[in-house]
Amino acid sequence: MNFSKELSVLLEKEFEEFHIFKKKGKIRAAICIGSTVLSKSFLFNKGQLLSNTAIGGIRRKKYPNYETMLEDVRRLAYEGMTFKAAFIGLKVGGAKMVFRNDIYDENPEECYEFIDRAINKLNGLYLGAEDIGMPEENLECLKTPYILGRSCGEMSGDPAPFTVRSVFVSLETLLKFLNLVSDPKDFSHLTFAVQGFGSVGNLAVAELVKRGAKKIFLSDKDRNKIAKAQDLYGNKIKLCIAYDPETDYFSEDMEICQKADIFIPCAVGFIINSRTTPCLQFKGICGSANNLFAVDDDAAKLHQRKIVCPGDFPVNNGGLVYTFTLLENRGTKYDPAAAEEMIDKNFGRIYDLLEKSRAEKKAPQQIAVEMAERKLAEAKIAPKEEIYDFRDEQIIKIHNL
Ligand code: NAD
């Protein structure tokens, strides 16, 4: 594999720092710091001053090649976590870590030790949290202090309930904007298609059931998850067991699913792409999936089809807000009430975004990206009392651990 080719592609993209971790000549993991320009200083754990820092999940995933792995972590760090923080006004940077599934499968213990050493190398620049393939119980296996998202006192570090809260605040806003509800707690005349019955999806389905949704179509590629949903909700929801590996989308009952009023994607990214967009018939899309659009242009194409979607990072930021409260409290306690207050402000933010989108005839995601980019650019020239530091060079480091 010609690794220098992958690196030269990276240099054309936005990021602040890239750290690639190798062992015995093989790349095992990467951390990308999207940007720390928005970060203020924090006192952390035993009084260590973190002068600029970035939060992001640790993702375990199978990657077909290094190029896909590096672009995934970069996009999640910059267009995902950094934009999320910028959009909601959190004074912290965005980052992500990914490590290869096959390495974990070979020897989980050694893998945890490797992750510890990789994160410690950055000395608090990167603070890891839960992500796909790295649930809270796995975070407990790590020894590095630079982790947010572990349970703390009585409080679980699981961000999913807060992510679901931000998804539902955004969904209520979307339904109001589309004039589809008079009572935001009553969904009895609406149909939904939910993709993914994992940490976020299962809470989303529970909330839809609670609000009396008329019909819910649920798709998960894992048959055990479908069986679990069947046990919980019986004939209340229509289950789609199979999915199409070609498009990573619904296959069984495709026709019916497409006709649901609202699509709630809570599984994989890139689900709005050139193959799915032309067949979608939803009135709106609002879910937790990161990197919802395969390429930027897909948001515009969806908008042209008059399907209203507030985007990904404007919607799924609740988990980050909750995790951030731990950092604000020197890593000693979560503050769920403060997180909920901050998340509920999404109503106004998303409503403004949708109105701007209508006025400017642009996709909400495009407008949100422009807003986030503007905030990052302004932070670079802002007086530095609050915003501590910024990097004007890109750094790529390869660590042999
Ligand atoms: P999870 O791993 O717990 O659940 C994902 C579910 O999707 C699994 O049940 C999996 O079997 C299913 N799935 C995977 N591919 C699928 C496909 N093609 N079709 C149908 N089902 C499929 O993940 P999660 O924590 O629930 O996160 C879901 C999405 O939300 C991810 O994109 C994640 O990045 C994003 N997100 C999660 C949080 C959070 O707080 N957990 C925060 C922000 C964003």
Q: What DSSP line would sit under 214-226, residue for residue?
A: SEEEEE-S-HHHH
- Residue 270's pLDDT is what? 86
Provide φ and ψ at 122, rounded to 5°: -90, -5
- Residue 252's pLDDT is what? 47
Q: What DSSP line would sit under 280-327, residue for residue?
A: ---SEE----SS-BSSHHHHHHHHHTT-B---STTTS-HHHHHHHHHH
pTM over 0.85: yes
> Which residue's CA is minimally distant from atom 34 of ligand 1?
290
Residues 6+ apart with CB under 8 A from 233: 205, 209, 216
pLDDT band at 257 (very low <50, low <70, confident <90, very high): low
Residue 245 has pLDDT above 80, yes or no: no
3-state helix, strand, coil in the chain (%, to 5): 40, 20, 40
Which residues form ligand 1's pocket by a CB distance below 6 Å? 132, 159-160, 163, 195-201, 219-222, 225, 243, 248, 266-269, 288-290, 316, 319
Q: CA 201 to CA 218: how far, in whole Å?
A: 9
Give how far the C-alpha of residue 343 lies from the chain's centroid of Cα atoms, to the nearest Å: 15
What is the distance in A from the centroid of ligand 1 to the CA of 8? Answer: 31
pLDDT digits (tens, 9 = 90+) for 78-109: 999 999 999 999 999 999 999 988 888 888 89
Q: CA 213 to CA 205: how far, in whole Å?
A: 9
Give the position, in ligand 1's atom list, of the atom nearest the Cα of 163.
40
Give the position, in ligand 1's atom list, of the atom nearest the Cα of 158.
40
- Residue 387's pLDDT is what? 44
The SS3 call for residue 196 is: coil
pLDDT digits (tens, 9 = 90+) for 139-178: 999 999 999 988 888 899 999 999 999 999 999 999 999 9
Structure-token pair, residue 159:
């961000």
